[in-house]
Structure 1
């Protein structure tokens, strides 16, 4: 089955407090984006990447590709105002039937093992959503305050979220209603169920400056 990864790096990353979008910040002297692309390309030799970037940073993205990777395996497209739009633009470049990975560019510590585990699940069931158990107490905000939730029934969602193209591409043809936070919510809004797989605690999303420090330590634990 053809494999295509849509790596979404369309945001500005304002919470990092940096001038550059966070996907271009350096981690051990290489951009975060380098690690994400490198892991996907190494996970499967027959996988290609569609990289979704802000229009102002496509040249910078191309420089990274030219410096480190086989440019024939990575294509760039421009993102939209929302994640939904950015993923939709990326999906427009998918050719033919495929298993599609959608991944946050700044989850740069994703492992080849997780990528393969998600692929195998998606081939079997049509979808694969990596999750990890909540380790903290969880509360749901209500009009009257908040309610405690059973954390044993709460899972934290990661990427890559992986789908057969016959499921994902039609799902993104629907009108965006409300705020879709991930691809699973889009597919579910389209009336389909998703399958969960075990994620990884190290598969963190770089959002705040402290996350960059943690990622540095995880890359070089010694």
Structure 2
């Protein structure tokens, strides 16, 4: 359940799914691939539709040429969580901006931005990230790298202290007006995620993520996602 400190503040979620499936080697976008009998994106939506999270509005952003496909898929499966469907832009940055525009008259609250192809996000990670954003303004889920990490240089490479590094995941949660202010700025060439848009305006708080919260990108990721879902 939402904590007492944040239960009065509305929560929103923007699920962005713009993949083409190229790296998956398939003829379908990865968000529509079958994962234990249902589309990946449907699994993701259900993670945010848990009543205990108290999310007021759930917005899904898809490329315009994928909207009709998603509508057909929704008609084929039972218990699709209620959501608002929006056509995205040519970049992820533009798509998130479209999702924010869909929230229209909403003036206060906390908004999560999440990858549509992260279908295994634990509820505790979602709740913790919302709560941290409520308390700190901006928060992202992240994990410590498991492997050694090296930085490339003209002289070769050198080791980095992985205890000081984090692999960023989603959800990334923000005070709604803060994220809107960030997206009023010009699109950055250095854009990598929503935290990179916000960080010039506000510090980013780190929340402990989960190694199961994988982003489906390659065929191996699908195999792992299937195995993990079977254990839940």
TM-score band w.r.t. shorter chain: over 0.9
Q: CA RMSD in A?
A: 1.6
Taking structure 2 as the reference length, the TM-score comes to: 0.89
SS of the residue 1:108 aligns to: coil
Name the residue aligned to 1:58: 67
Question: 5 Å matches for 1:189-200?
Answer: 189=200, 191-200=201-210
Name the residue aligned to 2:154: 143
Partners of 2:174 and 2:74 lie apart in 1 by 25
CA deviations 1:64-107 (Å, max 9, x no partner) are: 44444467x31111112211111111111113122100000001
Partners of 1:21 and 1:64 lie apart in 2 by 13
1:155 and 2:153 equivalent? no
Name the residue aligned to 2:187: 176
28, 36, 40: which is aligned to 1:20?
A: 28
Partners of 2:126 and 2:41 lie apart in 1 by 16
> Does the 8 A contact of 2:11 with 2:54 survive in 1?
no
Select the structure that is richer in helix: 1
Q: Name structure 2 gaps, 5 residues minimum.
A: 1-8
Deviation at 1:147? 2.0
Taking structure 1 as the reference length, the TM-score comes to: 0.93
Question: 5 Å matches for 1:2-81?
Answer: 2-42=10-50, 43-66=52-75, 67-69=77-79, 73-81=82-90
Partners of 2:111 and 2:27 lie apart in 1 by 31
> Does the 8 A contact of 1:130 with 1:158 survive in 2?
yes
Cα 1:203–1:17 change in 2 (3 A) is: same
SS of the residue 2:49 aligns to: helix
Q: Name structure 1 gaps, 5 residues minimum.
A: none
